[in-house]
Structure 1
């Protein structure tokens, strides 16, 4: 091909290549510039990667020596057969193989332990032996062996900043050796393209292999950091919450089933169970949970603008259909464990207020705290007076259920007692079977306050409201009252049963009034006197 034809071919092909690859070339140059800037900048993450790369080089070189010493042994055996016509080259290669075999054996057995700087010096010594072999007169099989060992050195010790200048020196040495052999007949361009292509291939291989290892280590660090953060966050959740659970992208329980068993008072295996199945089966509540769990994670916010984890009030359905109110905190974990979606970490805070006001039915959750004192029924003077006393103790015969919270240690003290009266029609409610009405339990001066609050609730104001202090009948005697310093009126949210028209009256901070001592009679010393009149 003539020069003019070659120039036309070069212009056409160069134009096509520039049109298709110019953008990619600029990106490669930008990546190379950023790579060297990151290596020179004092970045803690890069220092961490550099330390990990040094440890990886040391471990991988020991592993490579366990295999290479067998290759060195085979090379020492075959070298006298291959280098039969040149004893000088044979002696040099035998020395190089023996030196490499000795070092690889010592390193593989752990007799010699080299750090990263020691490995650089050893590889530099190998490069010096390969550089000397270039100037040997025999150039057939020996040079191919040098090329193989050159490639092996790049694999065993991955450091592009070290191999790139060494490769360029090897290429320059081969060009100089070609000039010495052929003089003016030496074709520089043909030789440069031949050996230069191999040098470029080795350089590209070094850069790509090192970048691959660095990316792999960076991914391992990110995964380790994420697991540490999740573990620490879950440990903190256990300290401030009553439990935590980890859900996968299909909302199946992966970890934390034990805390759910504790909250639900259940012994069933909840692993891989769909979490919404444990919620109260109400359409509104399930819809609120789906919206709550589907909120996107804002990753673009700065640390100063990050909001706390969102919270939602939910109701869990226990094994015996009781309701357990919990506050749920949600954190989304994107692409955890390689999933396409997001894992969900939920923290549970048990609603103690709801637990203190339960429904006494078998389907309800919790019990109402009555009193720690022993309830004793006072003797009634007559049936009429006992019925008109208005205490809870006179309605025991109409109880349907009695639920007690008992501690499982010591003498098993009773901590809570919950009563449920038998539902009965108004026509059949007579005598002792009649359920007590609220008015008979409230002091008359406080009754109007309670009645007006219940009336507002019945009129449509279904939110919780606080009431002033009221007095209620004492439990252990017909006369006397107990002061409730904290009174709340709360709507009954038990949707599992038909409870419309019901409301909770929650009495807390009870203060029992002291029994009044009867004053001594002033007529105690008087005796009967009689007079006689005339």
Structure 2
């Protein structure tokens, strides 16, 4: 059994070829392998030294994702591999040199069965301890004198190789598998060498186990690298989608709307902001250029704007802007300022998406006139005799226009005199301004498909919009149930609204009230009654240029106006 035939080994052409081939391979790839091993060792030492001082949030998230995958792999293995143990136990019981392997198989069977029955929960840390125990048990098993020729020995090596591969797949940690797998191979070869001496069978075992070791280590490194790269890319994609979603929501608060276009300039998803601006329904997958006015010059300017914004983007500066005209309802054009930000490879596609922020030009917006019959009679103060209710414009300083007069928002924005409606007049342009301390706004949703309150948003100051919106929506819900029983709602604080002649300036209404239209009270069967927002006791703040040292006076002034 211990006889060595050095002459046969030295004269064998196959062995000589193997030695020469191994020597040439080491000469060609030796430097690259040593460089890679040295790089891995230095990287591992550097990561270990920085782990206590520098906290990498992204790497920590990837590590948690890997740990979650390890726990998931162990649960899947626990539901499958215990069924293989009954087939290998009879073979283990017939041999006398497999006590350690039998103990290891029994331990794995008990742990995985308890995991399947939910008696214990194997965390990533426990799975790592379980793998370390397995490697130690396999190293001890390698010293057992089990190396006898026959099908039993070949089957034991095959079962052991299968278990080693399964452990690499379950526990995703190459730093654990490289020394563990190397120790198992060394124990197998040394025990065979100790039992049989330097023979041809020992050389064959060393070559086969060395090949198995290289393949298992390569599998461990490739599997861990691919999974970590996949988890990192998935987390970056999730973060990017969350950032885009949050940024789009932020744009809805600071702009009039936003829209996301794909590479073909088609709208992605339903866009309520665009429907509110255009005052008509917009298809979800329609092309954005089709929404522009029917002008070849307008379409060419838009395409040049999109193309030029994608080239040479300056991320540190502000996004480029373009004024376009959208085709609104009733053939009315809506002026909109577009701010463009390209999003390359969004959602994993190879195309460039386009995020457009829209700011509507309220000065150019055409608002339909309110009908005189829409004004409730209870809200019309009798300040002028019936004889003065003619269709002529009010003269400057006419006594028919009282300090408690009601002005329609649509008529005020049109800058033209309209027919008298119940004793209320709008002065013609160019005449002296008449003081107004109450504004009467008739609100009606511009689009039936939009459940929000879009047109009112252009009238209220953005900082007061959330408070006004919540109160109006709550009052509308109560009015929809029983319009005749709901009482007017009075705001406890004043409301800032946009000035009619200067959209850049806001006016404070010290008193704000919401009520139901009088016609809706009599027609209780109406599904959606009209609401009236009454703004009175108007105060226009003085816009004097403050000095640098008193730059915060404007905020104090607005606070004092709201409190008084």
Tell me the residue number matched to 2:447: none
Residue 134 (structure 1) aligns with: 142
Q: Once the 2 structures are TM-superposed, how far is the Cα of residue 155 of structure 1 from its aligned partner?
A: 1.0
Alignment of structure 1 residues 8-23 onto 2, 5 Å = none
For the residue of structure 2 that corresponds to 1:295, the secondary structure is helix
Cα distance per residue 1:5-27 (max 9 Å; x no partner): 77876777778x66xx9889978
Q: Kindly indicate whether the alpha-carbon contact (under 8 Å) linking 2:325 and 2:336 is maintained by their aligned counterparts in 1.
A: yes
Q: Deviations over 1:137-159 (max 9, x none)?
A: 33412222111111111111111
- Following the alignment from structure 2 to structure 1, what is the Cα–Cα distance between the partners of residues 25 and 128? 42
Q: Are the counterparts in 1 of residues 336 and 361 from structure 2 also a CA contact under 8 Å?
A: yes
What is the number of equivalent residue pairs in this alignment? 391
Once the two structures are TM-superposed, the CA of residue 338 in structure 1 deviates from its matched residue by 2.2
1:247 aligns with 2:261: yes
Counterparts of 1:409-428 in structure 2, within 5 Å, are 414-417=408-411
Deviation of residue 481 (structure 1)? 4.0
On the 8 A contact 1:377/1:393 being kept in 2, the answer is: no
Unaligned runs of 5+ in 1: 356-364, 381-385, 395-411, 421-435, 437-473, 486-506, 510-534
Q: In the TM superposition, what is the alpha-carbon distance from 1:345 to its structure 2 partner?
A: 1.3
Among 360, 375, 379, the alignment partner of 1:350 is 360
Q: Does 1:231 align with 2:231?
A: no
CA–CA distance in structure 1, aligned partners of residues 124 and 101 of structure 2: 26
1:95 corresponds in structure 2 to 103
- Going from structure 1 to structure 2, the CA distance change for 1:26 and 1:180 (only over 3 Å counts) comes to closer
Measured after TM superposition, the shift of residue 284 of structure 1 is: 1.9
* Structure 2 residue aligned with 1:308: 318
Match of 2:60 in 1: 47
Aligned counterpart, 2:214:
200
Residue number in structure 2 paired with 1:482: 432
Counterpart of 2:133 (choices 125, 133, 136) is: 125
Q: Distance in 2 between matches of 1:234 and 1:342?
A: 17
**Shift of residue 254 of structure 1?**
0.8
Deviations 1:276-329 (A, max 9, x none): 00011222221121122223557996xxx6112222111100242210011111
- Partner residue in 1 for 2:285: 272
Report the Cα distance in structure 1 between the residues aligned to 2:336 and 2:40, rounded to whole angstroms.
51
Measured against aligned partners, the alpha-carbon deviations of 1:332-381 in whole angstroms (never above 9, x if no partner) come to: 111112221111111111101212xxxxxxxxx44699x9999999989x
Contact preservation (8 Å) 1:378, 1:477:
no
Other structure's SS at 1:309 match: coil
1:110 aligns with 2:118: yes
- Find 2:91's aligned residue among 74, 79, 89: 79
The structure-2 alpha-carbon separation of the partners of 1:232 and 1:118, relative to structure 1 and needing over 3 Å to count, comes to same
**CA RMSD across the alignment:** 4.4
1:36 CA drift (Å) = 6.4
Distance 1:29 1:298, change over 3 A: farther
Alignment correspondent of 2:338:
328
**Any stretches of 5+ residues in structure 2 without a counterpart?**
1-12, 148-152, 396-405, 418-423, 436-499, 503-564
Q: Does the 8 Å CA contact 2:267/2:285 hold for their aligned counterparts?
A: yes
Q: CA deviation at 1:271?
A: 0.8
CA offsets 1:365-405 (integer angstroms, 9 cap, x no match): 44699x9999999989xxxxx9xxxx7699xxxxxxxxxxx
> Compared with structure 1, are the counterparts of its residues 377 and 321 closer, same or farther at alpha carbon in structure 2 (3 Å cutoff)?
farther
Higher relative contact order structure (alpha carbons within 8 Å, sequence separation ≥ 6):
2
Deviation per CA, 1:117-175: give whole Å up to 9, x if none. Answer: 22222112222232232233334122221111111111111110111110111121122
Q: Distance in 1 between matches of 2:241 and 2:326?
A: 29
- 2:74 and 2:170 in contact (8 A); partners too: yes
* 2:169 is the alignment partner of 1:155: yes
Closer, same or farther: CA 155–288 of 1 in aligned 2, 3 Å: same
Q: TM-score, normalised by structure 2?
A: 0.59
Q: Which moved more, 1:58-67 or 1:217-226?
A: 58-67
Given the superposition, is the C-alpha separation of residues 46 and 163 from structure 1 closer, same or farther in structure 2, using an over 3 Å criterion? same
Residue 24 to residue 178, structure 1, CA distance change in 2 (3 Å): closer
Say which of 291, 295, 312 aligns to 1:282: 295
Matched, 1:258 2:268: no
In the other structure, the counterpart of 1:431 is none
Larger Rg: 1
Judging changes above 3 Å, is the alpha-carbon distance between structure 1 residues 300 and 30 closer, same or farther for their aligned structure 2 residues?
farther
Q: Which residue of 2 aligns with 1:445?
A: none
Shift in CA distance, 264/93, structure 1 to aligned 2, threshold 3 Å: same
User: Conserved in 2, the CA contact under 8 Å of 1:249 and 1:339?
Assistant: no
Corresponding position: 1:173 with 2:181: no
